[in-house]
Amino acid sequence: MTIKNLYPVIASLFLTSCVSKKDVVYFQDIRDAHEKEIIKNYNTVFEADDLLAITVSSADMLGLEPFNLPSVSFNPIPGSISGERKQLAYLIKKDGTIDFPVLGKVKLSKLSKIEATKVLKDKLSSYIKNPIVHIELVNFKITVLGEVKNPGVFTIPNERISIIEAIGLAGDLTLTGKRSDILVVREDNNKYKYHRVNITSEEIFNSPVFYLKQNDAIYVTPNNAQIKSSSYNKNAPLWISAASVIVSLLILLTK
């Protein structure tokens, strides 16, 4: 075998690593088809800094205009004449309230959509007969970072997303992502809470962070092979050169 033929062998010794099935496969403890009861009913709770699109309607259309914010046109391309019509939204302030037309300050933080809808309907009933209130959270976003194919910040069109769906939005984990050690950071009551989950186990479905909240951040940690390869890659040319010199010397000495 020539020195040239030894180069790939030497390089593979320094650069390759073994990845076992248990490090890659999701939900490994689900062996047979079976049913699992959904024990967690997720319900979005509004928080400070949420943006709410609120529409008020009724069978009697008279008098509704003061209670609905106008729609404005947003041009995605500067200078273009075409645009997208969007309704303006209410910001929940730090004190948990929004400034609603006619009604003034209305506290909606810490309320679910059903609870917030009832609060507004009760207040509007003094002005409108049988009001219909629709509330939509328009700035529900999550962040996915680390060992995924497409990390970034994602705006969610609805108010319910699981950690599995979030990973799918980010293009799935890379082979170097540690599936047994995924960190979810959540802000709750002015505190950061940290949860570590393992998506190789069925227990992920019982996690309190299986369904994500607005502004949750997910970080996929690198596995040991990736951590080690970061140092290998830096010094690989040096080690390969040194190894080739040693092999050359051994060949000369054994001739």
Instruction: Tell me the pLDDT tens digit for each residue of 196-231.
Output: 999 988 888 889 999 999 999 999 998 766 655 655
Looking at residue 16, its pLDDT comes to 47
Instruction: Read off the tokens for 115.
Output: 């609870």
Are 149 and 170 in contact by the 8 Å Cβ rule? The answer is: yes
Are 164 and 201 in contact by the 8 Å Cβ rule? The answer is: no
Looking at residue 55, its pLDDT comes to 92
Mean pLDDT confidence for 148-169: 92
- Of 63-77, 201-215, 233-247, highest mean pLDDT: 201-215
Would you tell me how many other CB atoms lie within 10 Å of the CB of residue 170?
A: 22
Looking at residue 238, its pLDDT comes to 66
- pLDDT level of residue 34 (50, 70, 90 thresholds): low
Looking at residue 59, its pLDDT comes to 85
pLDDT tens, residue by residue, 170-198: 999 998 889 999 999 998 878 899 999 99
Looking at residue 15, its pLDDT comes to 46
Mean pLDDT confidence for 19-39: 64
Largest CA distance in the chain: 103
Looking at residue 86, its pLDDT comes to 67
Q: Which residue has the tokens 């998506």?
A: 199
Read off the amino acid at residue 49: D
- pLDDT level of residue 44 (50, 70, 90 thresholds): confident
- Category of 3 on φ-ψ map: left (φ > 0), alpha (ψ -120 to 50) or beta: alpha
Question: Of 35-39, 61-65, 241-245, which range is least confident?
Answer: 35-39
φ/ψ of 235, rounded to 5, equals: -110, 5
Mean pLDDT confidence for 225-245: 63
List, in order of start, the domains of the chain with CATH numbers: 3-19+225-254 (no CATH), 21-42+140-222 (3.10.560.10), 51-137 (3.30.1950.10)
Mean pLDDT confidence for 3-24: 52
Q: Tell me the pTM.
A: 0.69
How high does pLDDT run on average in the chain? 81
